[in-house]
Amino acid sequence: MSRSALTLVTPPASEPVSLAEAKAWARVDGCEDDSVLTGLLIAARTAAEEYLRRSLVTQTWRLTLDACGTRGEWFEGTYELPVTYFDGALPRDVELPRGPVTAVTSVTTYDTSNISAVFAPANYRLDPSGARLLLNPNAYWPDNVRPAAGCEIVYTAGFGSSSAVPQPIKTGILIHAASLYEQRGQCADAMDLPPGSKQLYGTYRVVGGTRG
């Protein structure tokens, strides 16, 4: 299996829950704590994304993959080798964390001389669930991909704008942000997701193999 690293390239342009919505939920009047509440909304949204293993409002990520093998010198004889040996030592199916992925912006490979090359979009597709990049049947990775950080995949992910984020997730963020506001300055346990938020997030949480 290839090792991977995930980097946020472009953060969301807005939060799923507005400051006005948070103030109404927490029954906060006045503007003295606006900056505090704004920070808590970001913290609650980040916690939600970590728990859900999803992106909420559209954002851009870069997945960097290591090749999972090296090629040695060829000697005379018959070889029985996995397909990945001839396939650039990169997987044909690549999990894309923090979906749902809406578009793959670019795929770049690096050869053993550290020279980059754009991997043509005709070689791959995004699966219907927005969770994986799949090589097309007659497509193959370059045969000289460097072992470390041999491939970078840049993609956009998320439900779309804040209005497209499912309401149960928004409500979970409101519950968490209000809890953080009420318990600010208290013990570290106050940072834990409230049970009500977890219950609301349950239907949307990614489980299984998708990383992130």
Q: Which of 66-75, 123-132, 145-154, 186-195 has the lowest mean pLDDT?
A: 66-75
Q: What is the predicted pLDDT for the residue at 211?
A: 47
Confidence of residue 70 (pLDDT cuts 50, 70, 90): very low
Contact by Cβ (8 Å): 104, 133: yes
Long-range contacts of 163-166 (CB under 8 A, 24+ apart): 165/16, 165/56, 165/57, 166/204
Identify the weakest region by mean pLDDT among 53-67, 72-86, 108-122: 72-86
Average of pLDDT values for 72-90? 52
pTM of the model: 0.84
Residues 6+ apart with CB under 8 A from 132: 93, 94, 95, 96, 126
User: What are the residue ranges spanned by the domains of the chain?
Assistant: 14-56+161-204, 59-157
Percent of the residues in the chain that have a pLDDT greater than 90, as a whole number: 77
Q: Say which range, 107-116, 152-161, 162-171, 184-193, has the weakest mean pLDDT.
A: 184-193
| Whether the predicted pLDDT of 108 surpasses 70 | yes
pLDDT over threshold 60, residue 80: no
Using CA atoms, how far residue 200 sits from 148, 203, 205, in Å, is: 40, 7, 10
Residue 37 has pLDDT above 90, yes or no: yes
52 or 75: which leads in pLDDT: 52
- Helices marked H in the chain: 19-26, 34-52, 83-86, 167-182, 195-201
Question: In the predicted model, is pLDDT for residue 88 greater than 90?
Answer: no
Average pLDDT over residues 54-83: 71
Architecture label for domain 14-56+161-204: Orthogonal Bundle (1.10)
pLDDT classification of 187: cutoffs 50, 70, 90: low
